[in-house]
């Protein structure tokens, strides 16, 4: 499997180009779906693009409201089917504590996630945090616990908001 360069992580600069994040995410999604023999339909592309328009978690019904001008016939099931596909392909993450979704910045490979969620600006930053995940894996091993997936969500203030 070929892995394209990952979309840039969240930056705190006002000059951050979200359109570049959208373009990169769509390019990676197109490549991965082609390699996997699955179809990235127009609605799936539109939902993915809407998720990547910012680095904030977005709820399904917000996506529905935003996609209506593009797809007048869109229904909740339309959005949920697209979200299920994007989740299954590893192109987005579900932020369980917010019941919302964010783009995955490492779509090219399986990984565990640490999500840093700013309670002020609502930005979500995905971190690899390999050391943290290794410590957790050791704790699970010692407990005899078999984890099927690991996602850690931490709420607080991002660097920019904590400096304000």
CA distance 72 to 69: 6
Asked whether residue 104 is marked as a ligand-binding residue, the answer is: no
Token reading at 4: 């394209």
CA distance 61 to 142: 41
How does DSSP assign 77-102, residue by residue? HHHHHHHHHHHHTTSEEEEGGGTEEE
Buried b vs exposed e over 144-153: b needs ≥16 C-beta within 10 Å? eeeeeeeeeb
Asked whether residue 161 is marked as a ligand-binding residue, the answer is: yes
Asked whether residue 118 is marked as a ligand-binding residue, the answer is: yes
Asked whether residue 158 is marked as a ligand-binding residue, the answer is: yes
Buried b vs exposed e over 46-55: b needs ≥16 C-beta within 10 Å? bbbbbbbebb
Token reading at 44: 């799936």
Please report, in range form, the residues annotated as the binding site: 118, 121, 158, 161
Please report, in range form, the residues annotated as the binding site for Zn(2+): 118, 121, 158, 161
């Amino acid at each position: 499997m070929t892995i394209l360069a990952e979309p840039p992580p969240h930056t705190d600069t006002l000059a951050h180009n979200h359109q570049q994040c959208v373009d990169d995410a769509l390019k990676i999604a197109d490549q991965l779906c082609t390699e996997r023999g699955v179809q990235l339909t127009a609605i799936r592309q539109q939902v993915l693009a809407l998720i990547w328009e910012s680095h904030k978690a977005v709820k399904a019904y917000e996506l529905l409201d935003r996609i209506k001008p593009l797809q007048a016939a869109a229904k909740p099931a339309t959005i949920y089917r697209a979200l299920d596909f994007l989740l299954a392909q590893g192109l987005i993450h579900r932020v369980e504590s917010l019941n919302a979704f964010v783009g995955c910045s490492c779509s090219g490979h399986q990984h565990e996630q640490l999500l840093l969620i700013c309670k002020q600006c609502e930005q979500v930053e995905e971190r690899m945090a390999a050391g943290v995940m290794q410590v957790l894996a050791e704790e699970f091993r010692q407990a005899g616990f078999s984890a099927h997936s690991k996602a850690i969500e931490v709420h607080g203030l991002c660097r920019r908001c904590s400096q304000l």
